[in-house]
């Protein structure tokens, strides 16, 4: 349907560029981006997506690209080349290489070129940032600089809370403002339902005081906030001793078996959902307690879904057989329990194309929390973009100027030396 692209106005027509920024890592930029794309496509609009700087790349049919780009490409069957959607992949060593070069790579032209490919014939382009507002500064391409470069208007996402959330909003807002940009509005994500009304009241009050639009509040979702078994396996890379074929299942809680058997049993009675247990393979007392625990919890919303053994020694065949008989996934990571727990805690929760339960959760719950009409009414079409060739010519001119300057310095040195 679109907003009116015709062969006559195509050259002048520019989409609405919405830059999804956040106050930190793993706040929910990808979730919000997904919801916006899904909503606008439902309404019949042509929508593009890009993540100019990608830090979490994966190997894909298109080479190494940002995992969020692969998600959007697959779910929405977007026609654009992922290498345009993610023009800069920050691989290991990229930053050091960039900083050490006398003539640095022209990242600006790559971003503009990628954007122009993505934005062609689009009504909206959703541009996802990386980390907080200042991330990318070391490459001279902070989120603020990229938003300015692409003439995008900023929606700032913050996690649920009051004091710390407002502090983070103000810190990031002022960074954008110092770069000559205005934040359009705020979305609050991962808010506990018991605190939703209070959080909304104070965040709205903050927004009013800073002339920001309040675009919505999204309740905390265990499904979106916890990893699937598949993600645990991919991130930790343990030995898989037995698997029940449930990698898409969301793990609700990690529990460490560091207490006595009696204390462990009592503690588990208070838990619910799919549980991943972590304890050393030598704790035979806990292994033998699991059948009783499984029988006890059959009438409850609790399942011992996975046991991740730690320690130098693999679990015994008898222990593994006991767990298999009770439909438990069995993994082994040969390290100290503390190290294994640290690895689990550091998993960056991301939605992948195969995570059907997470995608359904975004479509059912997240979209209900955003005032899309208010967002749309406050985002204006972008101004015409500077042609990328013009940018390249300017950059080449600067490079040649640097070369000539250094050449003159060297010439002056030798002339002085001869004298």
pLDDT in tens, 292-308: 777 766 657 888 899 99
| Residue 119 binned pLDDT confidence (cut-offs 50, 70, 90) | very high
Pairwise CA distance, residues 186 & 224, whole Å = 20
| Paired strand residues for 189 | 159
Residues 6-32, mean pLDDT to the nearest whole number: 81
Pairwise CA distance, residues 404 & 198, whole Å = 62
- Residue ranges of alpha helices (H) inside 27-150 are 29-42, 67-76, 82-85, 94-100, 107-119, 143-149
List of residues 6+ apart from 51 with CB closer than 8 A: 66, 68, 69, 85, 86, 127, 128, 129, 130
Pairwise CA distance, residues 252 & 254, whole Å = 7
**What pTM value is reported for the model?**
0.80
Is residue 148 over pLDDT 90? yes
pLDDT for 74 equals 93
- Share above pLDDT 90 across residues of the chain, in percent, rounded to a whole number: 57
pLDDT for 6 equals 42
3-state secondary structure of 251: coil
Out of 66-70, 93-97, 296-300, 384-388, the most confident range is 66-70
Tokens of 320: 């593994």
Alpha carbon distances (Å) from 161 to 192, 318, 334, 375, 401: 9, 47, 38, 22, 51
Pairwise CA distance, residues 29 & 156, whole Å = 9
| Residue 261 binned pLDDT confidence (cut-offs 50, 70, 90) | confident
Length of the chain: 419
- Share above pLDDT 70 across residues of the chain, in percent, rounded to a whole number: 88
Given a contact cutoff of 8 angstroms between Cβ atoms, the answer to whether 322 and 292 are in contact is no
Out of 90-94, 104-108, 331-335, the most confident range is 331-335
**Per-chain mean pLDDT for the chain:** 87
Q: What is the DSSP string of 376-393?
A: HHH-PPPPPPPPHHHHHH
pLDDT tens for each residue of 328-354: 999 999 889 999 989 998 888 888 888
Is residue 385 over pLDDT 60? no
pLDDT for 46 equals 96
Structural domains of the chain, ranges and CATH numbers in brackets: 16-222+351-385 (3.40.50.300), 227-345 (3.40.1390.20)
Among 285-289, 329-333, 372-376, whose mean pLDDT is lowest?
285-289
Alpha carbon distances (Å) from 260 to 257, 263, 279, 296, 309: 8, 5, 12, 18, 17
Residues 403-411, mean pLDDT to the nearest whole number: 69
pLDDT for 7 equals 42
Alpha carbon distances (Å) from 402 to 106, 321, 395, 408, 415: 14, 70, 11, 10, 20
pLDDT for 1 equals 42
pLDDT for 52 equals 95
388 or 218, which is more confident: 218
Indicate the DSSP class of residue 285. Answer: H
pLDDT for 302 equals 85
Indicate the DSSP class of residue 315. Answer: P
pLDDT for 418 equals 59
399 or 374, which is more confident: 374
Tokens of 308: 């991740």
Out of 83-87, 265-269, 355-359, the most confident range is 83-87
Pairwise CA distance, residues 177 & 167, whole Å = 15
């Amino acid at each position: 349907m679109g907003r009116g692209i015709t062969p006559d106005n195509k050259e002048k027509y520019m989409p609405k560029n919405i830059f999804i920024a956040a106050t930190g890592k793993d706040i929910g930029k990808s979730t919000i981006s997904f919801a916006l794309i899904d909503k606008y496509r439902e309404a019949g609009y042509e929508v593009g997506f890009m993540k100019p700087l990608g830090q979490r790349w994966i190997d894909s049919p298109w080479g190494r690209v940002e995992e969020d780009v692969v998600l959007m490409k697959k779910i929405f069957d977007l026609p654009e080349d992922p290498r345009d959607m993610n023009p800069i992949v920050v691989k290991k060593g990229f930053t050091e290489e960039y900083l050490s070069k006398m003539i640095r790579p022209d990242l600006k032209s790559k971003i503009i070129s990628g954007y122009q490919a993505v934005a062609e014939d689009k009504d909206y382009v959703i541009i996802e940032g990386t980390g907080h507002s200042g991330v990318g500064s070391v490459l001279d391409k902070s989120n603020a600089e990229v938003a300015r470069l692409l003439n995008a208007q900023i929606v700032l996402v913050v996690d649920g809370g009051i004091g710390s959330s407002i502090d983070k909003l103000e810190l990031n807002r002022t960074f954008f403002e110092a770069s000559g940009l205005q934040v359009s509005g705020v979305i609050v994500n991962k808010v506990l339902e018991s605190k939703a009304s209070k959080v909304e009241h104070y965040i709205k009050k903050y927004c009013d005081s800073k002339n920001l639009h309040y675009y919505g509040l999204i309740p905390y979702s265990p499904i979106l906030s916890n990893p699937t078994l598949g993600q645990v396996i991919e991130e930790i890379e343990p030995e898989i001793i037995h698997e029940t074929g449930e990698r898409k299942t969301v793990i609700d809680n990690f529990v460490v078996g560091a207490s006595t058997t009696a204390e462990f049993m009592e503690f588990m009675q208070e838990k619910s959902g799919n549980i991943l247990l972590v304890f050393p393979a030598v704790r035979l007392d806990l292994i033998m307690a699991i059948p009783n625990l499984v029988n006890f919890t059959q009438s409850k919303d609790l399942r011992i879904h996975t046991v991740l053994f730690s320690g130098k020694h693999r679990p015994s065949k008898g222990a593994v057989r006991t767990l298999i008989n009770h439909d438990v996934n069995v993994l082994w990571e040969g390290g100290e329990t503390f190290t294994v727990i640290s690895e689990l805690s550091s998993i960056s929760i991301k939605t992948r194309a195969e995570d059907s339960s997470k995608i359904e959760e975004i479509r059912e719950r997240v979209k209900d929390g955003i005032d899309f009409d208010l967002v749309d009414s406050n985002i204006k079409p972008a101004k015409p973009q500077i042609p990328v060739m013009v940018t390249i010519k300017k950059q080449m001119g600067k490079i040649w100027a640097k070369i000539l300057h250094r050449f003159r310095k060297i010439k002056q040195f030798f002339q002085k030396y001869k004298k």
